[in-house]
Amino acid sequence: MADVSLTPPTTKLNKSEIASIMAGLMVAMFPGALDTTIIGPAMPTIGRELGDVAHLPWIVTSYLLVSTAATPLYGKLSDIHGRRIMLMWAIGLFALGSIACALAPSMIALALARALQAVGGGGLISLAMTIIGDIVPPLERPRYQVYTSMMWTTSSLLGPALGGYLADKWHWSLIFWINLPICLAAFIMTDSKLKRLPRYERPHKLDFAGAGLLVAASVLVQLMLSWGGTRYPWTSAPVLGVLAAAILVIALLTLRLRTAAEPLIPLRLLSNQVVLTGGGAVGLCMGVFVGLSIYVPIYFETVMGLSATQSGLALLPLMTGTTFGALACGRIMSRMPRYKIAPIIGLIGGGLGLLPLFFNPEGMSLLTVEILFTLVSIGVGGVFPVTTISVQNAVPRHDMGTATSLITFLRNLGAATGVAVFGTLVIGAGAGDGMAAATAYGPDYVAHFRWIFLAAALGLLLSACVLTAMEERPLRARGSGQL
């Protein structure tokens, strides 16, 4: 076994100190959480004002791709240099990227600025989750779920309504400018508090070659999904060429993971049953959730005839239900040894709840649609705490940063894939320009949203199957952690 370098805290953190650190972490996570909810209702307005609706999905996809690749690096770097310094870097880069987004003069520039923003965003949530894992043992962690629940509730309530309002009444760039004061507050609140964190680490080497291959593989797969059946036929030379390149790069990445002295994603973690199944379940969920959050506002504006502001408000049930699902399942997890049953039931209920929208996407009342989305949201929310805590509980402390980044990586990868797949379904079904058609031509393409709802239903039901396969290991109590 390799030497383990441990730097314990000078004094044990008491409950008030943990609460203080948690408050700072919630502020640090908030910009990343808000980003996932505020941009959806503003996207049609952004596309119209920049005059490039066809490339609109790339302002989401570029963020997800880069943050996906950056997340494992943050895990490694935090294991080497400590959580605090890397969180400071993440906050700073996110703020810099937000400025570039607000000043972007074109859709291409905005997509590139979103990629810069994602370099910081890739560390915000994963590092905060890792720090929580450092200071609170798995058995006690669900009790602190109230902090993260409050943060997600606030972002879920504020984001959609604020995004739609700012785009409607002011200017879409304000959804990025608003990040600056939040990032400043996060920097101030976390800088001094995190100096007393316990540190559990080993010396690590950064696998830059693996990171490059991971980025290339992700981009090629997303490009194939974006082009296939839309810009080019599935059997065309460009799509087949991208597919061949993706297969080659994935093969090289697999070889790199097997042969590198310390690969970007350690094989010991990928062979961990809890990590593999937990990551798969949450990745499927996140793909459904983010895909719906991007396309449902367009559904509201085209099918229901709502404005951007009204669409943002109508999105609230889909966004806020995750908080209640997470809070409920977190409480159950700390009290019941069979803690998977609640999120599994929630996923099945959410999947079945989407089927009416598949059969009748146009003829349902807004109230009925909102109730169904609430059911979906609660089911998705229950998966997040259960998978995260289960993965952190299943790995040694010195792998905590890497494992937490890996689970976040799988969430982001699922999100990016979900956006691409949902977009392809609408585009392919509509035989048009997808999002451009939906936003420009309106109700003619409405019926094709049914395929998104069917894919979302299948994704949630498949996630329930994967979560069922995840082992339920007893949660570690304080003082019983592995080194």
Number of domains in the chain: 2
* pLDDT at residue 199 in the model: 56
Q: Are residues 248 and 272 in the same domain?
A: no
Q: How far is CA 255 from the centre of its chain?
A: 27
Q: Are residues 229 and 278 in the same domain?
A: no
Per-residue model confidence as pLDDT tens digits over 398-427: 666 677 777 877 887 787 778 777 877 765
Residue 133 lies in a domain: yes
User: Element (H or E) spanning 6, and its range?
Assistant: strand 5-7
Give the residue among 43, 310, 31 at the shortest CA–CA distance from 186.
31
296 C-beta neighbours (distance < 10 Å), count: 27
CA quadruple 356, 360, 364, 366: dihedral sign: positive
CB 149 within 8 A of CB 323: yes
Strand partners, 201: 5
Distance CA 246, CA 218 (A): 8
Helix, strand and coil content of the chain, in percent to the nearest 5, comes to 80, 0, 20
Whether residue 476 is predicted with pLDDT greater than 70 in this model: the reply is no
The mean pLDDT of the chain is 77
Per-residue model confidence as pLDDT tens digits over 304-348: 777 767 777 787 888 778 777 877 777 777 677 788 888 899 999
Residue 478 lies in a domain: no
- How much is the pTM? 0.69
Q: Are residues 256 and 266 in the same domain?
A: no
CA atoms within 13 A on the CB side of 28: 35
Q: Are residues 112 and 221 in the same domain?
A: no
Residue 365 lies in a domain: yes
**Domain end among 261, 279, 301:** 261
CB 370 within 8 A of CB 265: no
Residue 3 lies in a domain: no
CB 257 within 8 A of CB 267: yes
What residues contact 201, with CB distance under 8 A and at least 6 apart?
4, 5, 6, 7, 79, 80, 82, 398, 401
Distance CA 247, CA 261 (A): 23
Q: Are residues 291 and 254 in the same domain?
A: no
Q: Which residue has the higher pLDDT, 482 or 390?
A: 390
Residue 423 lies in a domain: yes
Distance CA 67, CA 128 (A): 15
CA atoms within 13 A on the CB side of 176: 24
Distance CA 229, CA 236 (A): 9
Distance CA 271, CA 401 (A): 17
CB 230 within 8 A of CB 427: yes
Q: Are residues 88 and 139 in the same domain?
A: yes
The owner of tokens 């505020």 is 38
Q: How far is CA 162 from the centre of its chain?
A: 20
Q: Are residues 247 and 371 in the same domain?
A: no
* CATH number of the domain within which 151 lies: 1.20.1250.20
Average pLDDT over every residue of 20-28: 78
Q: DSSP 3-state assignment of 199?
A: strand
Domain that holds residue 130: 11-193+262-469
Per-residue model confidence as pLDDT tens digits over 419-467: 777 877 765 544 344 444 444 444 455 667 888 899 899 999 999 999 9
